[in-house]
Structure formats: C-alpha cells, structure tokens
Amino acid sequence: MVRAAALLPEVKSHYGDLKNYVGGGWRAAEATEWLEDTNPATGRVIARVPLSTKDDVDAAVQEALRGWDTWRRTPPSDRARHFFALRDLMEQRFEDLSRVVVQDMGKTIEEARGEVRRAIENVEVAAGIPSLMMGYNLTDGAGAGIDEEVSYEPLGVFAGISPFNFPVMVQFWFWPYAVATGNCWIAKPSEQDPAPMQLVMELVQKAGFPAGVVSLVHGAKDTVNAILDHPEIRGVSFVGSSAVARHVYSRAAAKGKRVQAGGGAKNVLVVMPDAKLDKVVSNLVSSCYGCAGERCLAGSIVVGVGEVHADLRRKFSHAAAALKVGYCLMSVAREEIFGPVASLFESEGLEEAVEMINRSPYGNAATIYTSSGKDAREFRSRVRAGNIGINVGVAAPMAYFPFGGMKDSFFGDLHPQSRDAIRFFTDSKVAITRWP
C-alpha cells in the first residue's frame, strides 16, 4: 500500500483544519477539541477534525429548515437536474475522489474506485426521482364519483452517520434519496477519515444545490448524540457496529424519529460438494480478504459440506498463505472481527449449515456455492439473512435494489437504497375527492 501510494500523486498533502459545510458555505465549527486525521499507510497527519458542538449541529439544522421551505416545493424534475450535474462532476473528479479515499482510509486504489463508482450509481438512481415518487390513484375508488389518490410527501431534515470503512459510499446509500424526495440532509462522516466527504461537499456546492439542502458536520460521539436528540431532525440513517446501531436506534426512536441503522455481520459462505472448487476458492479469497475484511459483506466463516471439506481446506489455505493477517482471538467464530480473518468449519449437510447461519445473532449476508438449483433454492428460502449470494462471494446489491439486513445486522423497517429509501424518506398522503 505504501509503495502504491508513492506511485500515485496525492490530491493534497494536507487538508488543514476541516470546516463544516452549512447553509451553502464553509463554516468553522465552534469546537474546542480537535482530532488528528492520519494517513494509515504513512502515519502522517493530513487534517485536523473539529468535534462539533450541539450548537454547531443546531446551526446546520436551522439552515436546513430554511432551505427545506423552498426545496420541498421544487418540482422533482428540477431536483433531478442537480443530481445530473453532481453525477457529471463526480465523473470528472472520479480519480481525485478515489485517491482521497486511499489517502485517508487506506484501502487500495481499485477498491476505492469501486466505492466511488457505487456512490455515483446511487446518484444516477436518485436522478430518476420523477418516476420513483409517482403515486397511484383509483377512479371511483371509494364509490361512484369518489376518487382516491396517494402521493408521497417529504418530511423535513434527515441526518446520516457513516463509518470509516466506506467514507463515501455509505453516505450515498442515503442522502441522494433523502434530498431527491424533497428533504434536506446533514452528513456526519466518520471522524477517522472525513476528507473524502469534504471533497464531495465541494462538488455538491458546484452542482448548485440550494443553501441548506445538503450540509456536513464533523464530530464524534457527542456530535452524534446531538443529532439523535435534536427535535427538528425527523430521521436518522446509520451504519456501524451492532452495539452502536442499537444505541442509535433506541435513542433516536425514543425521540420519535425514523431510524434505519445497519449493524455488524458474521457472513457465512457455504461450499457444497458439487461446487466448482477451483473457481470457488478464488472467489472465497476475494470475499474474505478484499478490503482487508473491513466491509459488512465480507466473508467471515467458510463451511465445507461433506466430502468437499478436506479438499476445500487444503486449497483455501494454500490460496490464503501469501496473505499476512493479524492476531485473532478464539471468539472469531461468534463475534465480528472486521478484519482479514476467515474461520473454516465442516458441516455434514446443508441442513446443519443453514442451522449454523440461523443461530448467529447477525443476518447481513450468506452465500452458497453449488451447481444444484434445488439446494440453492432451499438455502435462499430458509436462511435468515438480508443479502443472499448464490455462487457470489460478496452479495452487494446494486443501487436500484435495497441493501438488506436482518436480526442484529439491522435495526429499523426500511433499508437503504432504491424504493425502500424512497419510502423511508417520505410519508404517504391519501386524498379522497368527490365533486358536486
């Protein structure tokens, strides 16, 4: 990673004291405490991050409320044009965005490019908001001469709290849909790597989003709690560990907010005896060790079913031998470790493998490798996980599908991305009409 970073010019060597983006402009936080943001490959400080106060959060909310009064009445087709502009700007700065992710988060350049591409895809889906927000009606729905119609209304100000491992993409699971539906958005990126979202906000500003519609507030735990407690914030989107997701859900829901909170994962990859093992092994290595295992869809437990286990163990171990992994604890079979470590288990049959998956407190993703449609269908039907892979190691939904999650991997009702996101960020309004 250090060698790769040396070959690619940095966008900036230092980003200075970061500012909040509020009311359509950059504003210094009232923070008295700061954190140093370091490049994990070099250990060099690349920015200072303010720990924004409750007053900083309130200032962003008040600007968002002022912006919302006009934005909510802006026609969806006009709102969409801002996303078309943002998409073009992100394409123009694609390499810069990717390199800032590398510099601040530490993933490889190809992984960073993949992350930025997924972010752009969510912008593209959100640009279709005129179709996504279409309601429905029924002539004579309540009786002769009485029509009924459903429309979708924005709610106000929403906030998003994102993790360090995907400093760009996770915010884009949420905010394009919130803003496209007529709401205003406050982003709180991870204090560990906020520089990529700083660049995103520069592009948001150039794309012409009105003042207050999209904001960014830096900070850590106290800033998060100020967001969760603010009475004018109507809903919160979050991704992080299950313990923090549960806290976010409980605290925000107690204040009457809508919440979608993604938690941790312990994803199981089941290899059946009829799987094409040579192809499977390379897929397993990518799933378990890609992004250094620091993604919520990473493979964590590999289960060999029946007679395939011995051969699988030998080939998988050989393929992974060149990879350097860190110290691991014996609890890795039960708890999320969020790193490049995979556990290998043996199962007598598919039934036992399914039971193993369903006993886990997590339900983010599960994969089966098989040539049998019957086994694949059984697995898909019975496994309690939100994202199912069939001969796919990382079951990551595209932007036009919701990002699933069950059990302790998700707290809430409606998931990020696609039509689930549209429903989360809007309320249904029913009009019943009769004319004399």
| Angle between helices 94-105 and 109-126 in degrees, nearest 10 | 130
Is 328 tagged catalytic?
no
Paired strand residues for 161 = 188, 238
Q: Considering 184, 288, 291, 296, which one is annotated as catalytic?
A: 296
The residues, any chain, with a CB within 8 Å of residue 270's CB and separated by 6 or more, are 303, 305, 347, 350, 353, 357, 366, 367, 368, 369, 379
Catalytic residues: 296
